[in-house]
Amino acid sequence: MSQPFRHPDRGRVDRTRPLTFRFGDRTMTGFAGDTLASALLANGVHEVARSVNLGRPRGIVTAGVEEPSAVVQIEAPFPEPMLTATTVEVYDGLVAHPLRGQGWLAPEPDSARYDAVWAHCEVLVVGAGAAGIAAAADAAASTGDRVILVDERPPRPSEVPAGVRLLTRTTVVGYYDDNFLVAVQRRTNHLGAAAPLEQARERLWRIRAGRVVLATGAHERLIPFPDNDRPGIMLAGAALAYLRDYGVLVGRRALVYTNNDTAYRVADELRGAGVDVVVADTRADAPAADLPGARLSGVLGDRRVTGVRVAGRQLDVDAVLVTGGFSPVLHLYSQAGGRLRYDDGLGALLPDGCRQRVEVVGAAAGVGLPRCGPPPMPEPSDADGRTFVDLQRDVTIAEVRRATGAGLRSVEHVKRYTTAGTAHDQGKTSGLLTSATVAAALGSSAAEVGVTTFRPPYVPVSFATLAGRDRDDLFDAARLTPIHDWHLARGAPFENVGQWKRAWYYPRDGEDMAAAVTRECRAARTGVAMMDASTLGKIDVQGPDAGEFLDRLYTNVMSTLAIGAVRYGVMCRLDGMVFDDGTVARLTADRFLVTTTTGNAAAVLDWMEEWLQTEWPHLRVWCTSVTEQWATVALVGPGARGVLARVAPDLAVDVESFPFMRWRDATVAGLPARVFRISFSGELAYEINVATWHGYALWQALMTAGADAGITPYGTETMHVLRAEKGYPIVGQDTDGTVTPDDLGLGWAIRKSTKDFVGRRSLSRPDTARSDRKHLVGLLPDDPTLLLVEGAHIVGHTPLGPPPVPYLGHVTSSYPSVALGRTFALALVTSGRQRIGERLYATVNGTLIPVEVTSHVLYDPEGARRDG
Amino acid sequence: MMIITCPWCGPRNETEFHYGGEAGVAYPADPGVLSDEEWGRFLFVRSNPKGVLHERWSHNAGCRRWFSVHRDTVTHEVGPAR
């Protein structure tokens, strides 16, 4: 028989719309308006899961988000793990499975859309029960106030006050500073495969509210007794909800086990629907009870309750309906910074004041809740290991007592020791039970023990919802140079540098990366090569005090720079550690162009602004980023001068007219350009800057002009090899925020005068002035074909011997070099400069590789190649 | 999410701002005359109160100006610099 536990006429499900779904290996029917839980119960199915650690059969305990037990895996239409059967709405084609603990994620990407929206209102009401609707109506009566009413359940036929924006199937999950709340709206989940693809499946609401009214109700609590986790045992209020909302009988013969008066209303209504009910009340003074002063001491049945031992008798029942009192739902209130106080009369925590503009109404404020003490605790017994406090985490009274026995006093510590309250439900129905168990064990009170901190989110939220549209290409912006399409057409793979996409190398037919980089390096050292350097950070620094300002930020002096000249510069943080490096060019008396590393451009501009605004507001200096205004092409190699002469016939390119570390304005390939004689490879090189929109034209003109000479485009990998051969460090690769300029061999870039610069004082602190700091040095493996791994540790002897093994440093850069005819590495090594010529060992895959320490400048140490 | 009032742009979400630590820690006029201990204190030691802290913020995603506010480190209440 279909749906044998469906009452003939009660409930609000739509009996004209039957729905077919599958659970485990059974195909069943329900009605529109059912949850998976109500449809299962209508079919007489109570066992829906297994417990995570013990594998015990578990059933449905509640009718809402507080469900601690009925966790299922959705298989179709799209896999979703660990949903509560009490909140999944049934649709045609739903396929679900019982779960034991964790579920599984879909192997393919979720094709559904997720979205986010902002909302602002004068009043936000959370919870559309009677108290919430009344509060919303009150608020809407104030003219002009925007009122949003949020409710986690599907739409109900109840009256929505005029002027109120109602969001249903929407759960407020977090309450943050300044009345900022985050809610998740489930828009198409309940439609299953029929959900329209163009509609966002879930929407994240970010709501800023003038004031907040919390009408979040109360969660009923369990009472601990042996085997209180058997399928068929549920909260009394849930049994009532299944009857009223879904027309479902949770059993035919029920024991109601209570410590408060709400049980009698439940019993009456269930009896009216044809259920045999016996009420056992833990209170001796309970005149309406069938069994006053009763203790439930045992449960019969394995995968479904078949009977109970109560008050010395054995009763045949198929459901046990428990009410241990109610806990107002104050998660959001507590997240908002609200204080809680324990009320002895209600055996519950109540709101006790909050700095934010928030008000709690209805059951959440304790209104209408029954008087009752904390849940009665059983005397210690052999059954403690079967008496559950937290069903989802399989935490029993015995475990809580083990925690207090181990000396734990704080309920926060007990939570972490036992994991009680850490599951998907965050202990909504069990939190106060854990506190009461701790209190009983310590001879204290629930008021003194308190509850653990409530943290967002109130219910589990999928990462897809939090990510919204910020996925794939929209996760982070990609910055592309004006020459990007050319690199793409040439088949260059790209390297991410911050948000920039930089061409890595340009493989020709059949070439792997090593072959391409070898060819590109050879071209730069022996012929002519070019690179797109547009991503280099560029800052325009202007004003009468610009020179003085740069003197204060760079370790070397910039104010003495001649117009037309360029100087390499290093910046330190206040602690004396290298922050960035680059070049400074003087354009006019009061104007400088500063370059930074690609990754640090924004940080350097921020650094400049911070000093100008907060320490030196009297300096007349203004800075702006011009990174994206200029396209930059580095023209490199002994053949570079010839190619430049061809495209810039009006520019005198001989060494005397255009020496190293100078810049010139010129017309290059018919384009207005600024050419710098700067080299990051040690070779003769020009960095040609044109307006961004001319970048592609410049690149093509250079390719054409250099075709005869075999001009070779190269990428960032070749750039790295070339600079490393010359011992030029890369900030962030060869440094890590613990490296001073002197450590890098850049002591020459520190001014001799005593004039201060940022970080200078730190360089004479005892630790920074030590002679045995780590220095940047070169390493040559004895085996010239062996490539060290970047990050490899360096030690002084082999075999390692017993730990601790003295650690001397690590490899920061490592490449094969066509110019050196061998592999080489840069490394930070303790007292490195004093060790030049020594043999050390680098660890590679657990073996010790002998290496010789050398200067960090391995190629052209005398600098003979820079003029071509 | 806190609302912080930028003196130039008005009240904005916290995510538009960048935190700059305790305010009123001036860069020494002549770091060269400080002892190692005095310089170390300037570099590393801050008051870190449980309560109201005078602190710096920068409106990074807006006008890029630095300013200071008073913020309670317990309640996150933000008020103008006093």
Nearest-CA distance A467 → chain B (Å): 16
Interface of A to B at Cβ within 8 Å reads 176-178, 180, 208, 337, 355, 574-575, 606, 609-610, 613-615, 754, 756, 760-762, 765-766
Of B14, B31, B40, the CB nearest to A756: B31
Residue A755 CA to residue A548 CA, distance in Å, equals 11
Q: Residue A270: inside a domain, yes or no? A: yes
Residue A177 has its nearest CB partner, among B26, B58, B76, at B76
A574 vs B1, B32, B43: nearest CB: B43
Nearest to A690 by CA among A626, A642, A605: A626
Give the per-residue pLDDT at A159.
76
Question: Which residue type, as a one-letter code, is found at position A815?
Answer: Y
| Cβ separation B1–A355 shorter than 8 A | no
Q: Which of A208, A761, A765, A767 to mutate to test the interface with B (most CBs of B within 10 A)?
A: A761
Domain that holds residue A786: 733-743+762-854
CATH code, A844:
2.40.30.110
Task: Give the domain-ending residue among A324, A347, A381.
Answer: A324
Helix (H) or strand (E) holding A121: strand A114-126
Considering CB atoms only, which of B1, B34, B39 is closest to A180?
B1
pLDDT value, residue A10: 95
Q: For residue A312, what are its two tokens?
A: 């010395």
Which domain CATH number covers B37?
3.30.2270.10
Residue-wise burial string across A704-717, b where 16 or more C-beta atoms lie within 10 A, e elsewhere: ebbeebebbbbbbb
What is the DSSP code string of B15-68? GG-EEEEES--PPPS-GGGS-HHHHHHHHH-----SSEEEEEEE-TTTT--EEE
Query: CA of B9 to nearest chain A CA: how many angstroms apart?
Result: 17
Structure tokens at A553: 């930020």
Among candidates A176, A606, A761 on the partner chain, residue whose Cβ is nearest the Cβ of B32 = A761
ipTM score above 0.95: yes
Provide the pLDDT confidence category of residue A790 given band limits of 50, 70 and 90. very high
How long is chain B? 82
CB-based contact A756 B30, cutoff 8 Å: yes
Strands of A467-596 (E only): list them: 494-497, 500-503, 529-532, 537-542, 566-572, 578-588, 591-596
Chain B residues near residue A762 by CB distance under 8 angstroms: 39, 43
Mean pLDDT across the stretch A359-363?
98
What value does the mean pLDDT take over residues A831-840? Answer: 97
Q: Strand pairing partners for B4?
A: B12
Whole-number Å distance between alpha carbons of A66 and A188: 22
The tally of domains found in chain A comes to 3
A647 forms beta bridges with none
DSSP lists the bridge partners of residue A299 as A308
Task: Spell out which residues of chain A touch residue B65, defining contact as CB-CB under 8 Å.
Answer: 613
Q: Using one digit for the tens of pLDDT, what is the confidence trace for A748-768?
A: 999 999 899 999 999 999 898
> What total of structural domains would you count in chain B?
1
- Estimate to the nearest angstrom the gap between the alpha carbon of A309 and the chain centroid: 50
In a domain, A297, yes or no: yes
Report which residue type is found at A450. G
pLDDT tens per residue across span A58-113: 999 999 999 999 999 999 888 999 999 999 999 999 999 999 988 898 898 888 99
Say how far apart CA A507 and CA A490 lie, in whole Å: 8
CB neighbour list of residue A313: distance below 8 Å, 6 or more residues apart: A291
pLDDT at position B82: 65
pLDDT tops 80 at residue A143: no
Q: Is residue A756 part of a domain?
A: no
Q: Which residue, A324, A359, A374, sits at the end of a domain?
A: A324
| Average confidence (pLDDT) over A164-175 | 97
Question: Do the domain assignments include residue A669?
Answer: no
**Is cis: bond before A457, omega within 30 of 0?**
yes
pLDDT tens digits, A252-300:
999 999 999 999 999 999 999 999 999 999 999 999 999 999 999 999 9
Percent above pLDDT 90 for chain A: 89
- Residues of B in Cβ contact (< 8 Å) with A176: 1
Per DSSP, A315 falls in state E
pLDDT at A685: 98
Chain B interface, mutation test: which of A118, A120, A178, most B Cβ atoms within 10 Å? A178
For residue A724, with 0-12 CB atoms within 10 Å meaning exposed, 13-18 middle and 19 or more buried, which class applies? buried
Residue B32 to chain A, least CA–CA distance (Å): 6
**Alpha carbon distance A159, A127 (integer Å):** 14
- Which of A260, A293, A324 terminates a domain? The answer is A324
A859-to-A108, A682, A683, A822 alpha-carbon distances in Å:
50, 8, 11, 12
**A90 close to A191: Cβ distance less than 8 angstroms:** no
| Cβ contact A613–B27 (<8 Å) | no
pLDDT of the residue at A479: 96
Contact B32 A337 (CB under 8 A): no
Placement of tokens 């602690």 in the chain: A575
On whether the CB atoms of residues A47 and A57 are closer than 8 A, the answer is: yes
Cβ-Cβ contacts under 8 Å, B43 against chain A = 574-575, 762
- Distance CA(A630)–CA(A695), nearest Å, equals 8
Q: Rounded to whole angstroms, how far apart are CA atoms A204 and A466? A: 7
Residues of B in contact with A180 (CB under 8 A): 1
Q: State the best of B34, B55, B76, B78 to mutate against chain A, taking most chain A CBs within 10 Å.
A: B76
Supply A813's token pair. 């850069």
- Cα gap A89→A80, rounded to integer Å: 14
- A650: how many CB neighbours lie within 10 A of its CB? 7
Report how far residue A316's alpha carbon sits from residue A299's, in angstroms, rounded to the nearest whole number: 10
What is the spatial distance between Cα A123 and Cα A145, in angstroms, rounded to a whole number?
7
CA distance B44 to chain A (A): 9
| Three-class DSSP category at A632 | strand
Q: From CA A10, how far away is CA A579, in angstroms rounded?
A: 72
A483: tokens are 């020459």
Convert the pLDDT of each residue in A330-340 to its tens digit: 999 999 999 99
Q: Which residue of A has its CA nearest to B76?
A: A177
Over residues A664-688, mean pLDDT: 97
What digits encode the pLDDT tens for the residues A205-239? 999 999 999 999 999 999 999 999 999 999 999 99
Residues ≥6 apart with Cβ < 8 Å to A829: A774, A775, A777, A779, A794, A808, A809, A835, A840, A853
Residue A47 maps to which CATH number?
Answer: 3.10.20.440
Note the pLDDT tens digit of each residue in B36-59: 999 999 999 999 999 999 999 999
Q: Are A97 and A72 in contact (CB under 8 A)?
A: yes
Across chain A, which distance is largest between two alpha carbons, in Å? 112
- pLDDT tens for A369-389 read 999 887 788 888 899 999 999
pLDDT number for residue A307 = 97
Domain-located, residue A481: no
- Is the predicted pLDDT of residue A156 greater than 90, yes or no? no
* CB under 8 A, 24+ apart: contacts of A4-7: A4/A42, A4/A43, A4/A44, A5/A41, A5/A42, A5/A43, A5/A44, A5/A248, A5/A249, A5/A250, A5/A251, A6/A42, A6/A247, A6/A248, A6/A249, A7/A243, A7/A247, A7/A248, A7/A249, A7/A273, A7/A274
pLDDT tens figures, A474-509: 999 999 999 999 999 999 999 999 999 999 999 999
Residue A778: predicted pLDDT: 98
Q: How far is CA B16 from the centre of its chain?
A: 15
Interface residue B54 vs chain A (CB under 8 A): no
How do A233-235 and A319-323 pair as beta strands? parallel
Residue A150: pLDDT over 70: yes
Ramachandran assignment for A759, one of left (phi > 0), alpha (psi -120 to 50 degrees), beta (any other): left
* Range with lowest mean pLDDT among A373-387, A770-784, A808-822, B11-25: A373-387
Q: Give the residue numbers spanning the domain of B44.
A: 3-24+33-80
Q: Is the pLDDT of residue A304 over 70?
A: yes
